Structure 1
Amino acid sequence: MTGEAPTPEALVAALKAEARKLGFADCALVRPDAVPLLAERLRIFLADGHHGDMGWLAADPQRRARPQVLWSDVRSIVMLTLNYGPARDPRAILERRERGAISVYAKGDDYHDLIKTRLKVLARWLMARAGGDVKVFVDTAAVMEKPLAQGAGLGWQGKHTNLVSRAYGSWLFLGAIFTTLDLPPDAAEHDHCGACRACLDACPTAAFPAPYRLDARRCISYLTIEHKGPIPSELRERMGNRIYGCDDCLAVCPWNKFARTGAEMKLAAREALEAPRLDALARLDDTGFRSLFAKSAVKRIGRDRFMRNVLIAIGNSGEAGLAAEAEHLLDDASPLVRGAAVWALSRLLSGEAFATLAGRRHDADPQVAAEWSQGLERAA
């Protein structure tokens, strides 16, 4: 470094300008101890079992609730947002039952890679300008980004528990740069939800037991992405044709209509993932799955879990012509896929046709056998 060192205020102003050049929608700073309620909120969430299969949330909760436990040298946290708001209402595809609905954020390249690359560039800029040490995080470490973003003034956690911004609505990715530099923080944002409960009422599976509380075990995003086993039978019909994630609570947020668009970087959706046909998806083997979802967040859940989701959508489609695709998957190597295929067929075939098919099939896997038994009960 050469010349006179900038004041902390000038450094922060330059940092924010550099962030905008990199395509970030907004940038603000927060102290690592600025959100004292983090630990209690996380404790209640875990105590209620609302994290479901996400055991990583329960692992070392103190590390997640207190940034200083994650990294004792952190003095300031730079929080950044990236706008990924869609040009059209993503709920329109829910009426096209022969197509699969993929969440807006997953229709392009994996946002983890896109954001982390830019975070590293910005972090290197900060170190070159002012020294210190840094660590960057994008939804992959024990960092509670949403409350920290609220503490930085970038928005507030809405009743759907996601970050809401007066400038960008509910369509925001978050990233964080931890630094050893002591930088002036921004003022926290306060709640602007008021009496609105649109996001709560829009949830297809009633995943919000109360405003600002999410039971992930009922959330379609959790069920289609994080959940490893069969989808709970009472929630399958409510999933409709959502095969990866769910945008309903985000899309209905009234603050979206005020969202700015234009200069900030958005994620480009791939045409093949805008409204893929369920019959084509049902034919994907592992190689085809990896090829279609290369560089996509969808690839992380693996072909079997994805095929389970596709079969639930097929069962909800009302399209008898898709029964052949489900029947083909009765011989799949994965019992998770076979069980979902049985459920889909129990929904698409007549009771007599399903009973005839069941009479010709035998599956040694107990979960798949249970699906056949339950399907026969429904067909009776």
Structure 2
Amino acid sequence: MRVKIEDVCMKGSSNLKQSDVVGKNGIYPVYGAAGYLGSIDSFKQSKPYVAVVKDGAGIGRAMLLPSNSSIIGTMQYLLPKDNILPEYLYYLIKAKHLEKYYSGATIPHIYFKDYKNEEFDLFSFEIQCQIINKLKIIEKIIEKQKKEMDLLDELVKARFVELFGDVRSNNNYPNVLFSECVEHSLRGPFGSDMKKSLYVPKNENTIKVYIQINAIQKNENLGDYYISKEYYDDKMYKFEVFPNEYIITCDGTLGKLLKLSKNMEKGVISSSLLKLKLNYSLITDQYFEYVWNLCLLPQLISEARNACLVHLPSMKVIGSKKIQLPPLELQNQFADFVKEVDKSRLEVQKSLKKTQELFDSLMQKYFG
């Protein structure tokens, strides 16, 4: 029987904030976009349900959550009706890739009204159980392969510490201003210069607008925001971004990095991004990315301003931070090690890709 998402679940909202959970010592769990947050003395849902990230990083991601639990306000409750098993609803929502419904160039979000009409075939409980069991087995294989990837990441981190020590606290190497390691940088245009009313449908004469979701999800191909070549030539040309430049998120979800490839689509940055090119005579990509996440970003987040919507400080402030700068020869040793580990990572990725393709094909078969 062909049905819609709204036929098998009801939406629900939460007014819980993360601050309502932190430091509490209750017995009922509360979940956020990253998973378990803490426990409080009450619960919102008495039966198992599906939760979807509806705001910020990870939008569209689904979680199957237990009875007697709650979620915070950045999440959406999807409460199964009597015609569907909670686990089956979970796989259905995963299969529909709700992130495709995102809107908002600064903080991406999705709405139930936009995806409630997605259609799929609803089977009997017996067939639902068979499908659930098959998908669970494949997911366990995927989890094992992802664990291998995590172990390779840990190997790289261990090598970093072996070569450079704890760059947050020791003074083994000269301290330099971060600005010395940057060839050039530029914050995106004023929001009023990049309003939605200026966006046009993609055609052979349009210019892509890179937005936060590109860096958040580390995918330069996402997004369908474009401006006309005329507007680019008139006002936006100086905000063009080029291969080997980084784009960095500046609003809400702070400091996510993406280095653009040589195959990137010609485009400009939105108002919520910073573009930056390193001075490769002083610093390598591999060392920069580790130092950014270990040292610079935690400092910058602590100084983020505006209590309602946090913003990354200005490039002047970012450039004034000091980092330890080992000799380029040592940085290159680390870069070479990362490249070797990446070869092993590539093999695991190939296996993971095949397993994921099998999983995706079954998801399409059952829920397409």
Q: What's the TM-score, normalizing by structure 2?
A: 0.28
Q: What's the TM-score, normalizing by structure 1?
A: 0.27
Higher strand share: 2
Higher helix share: 1
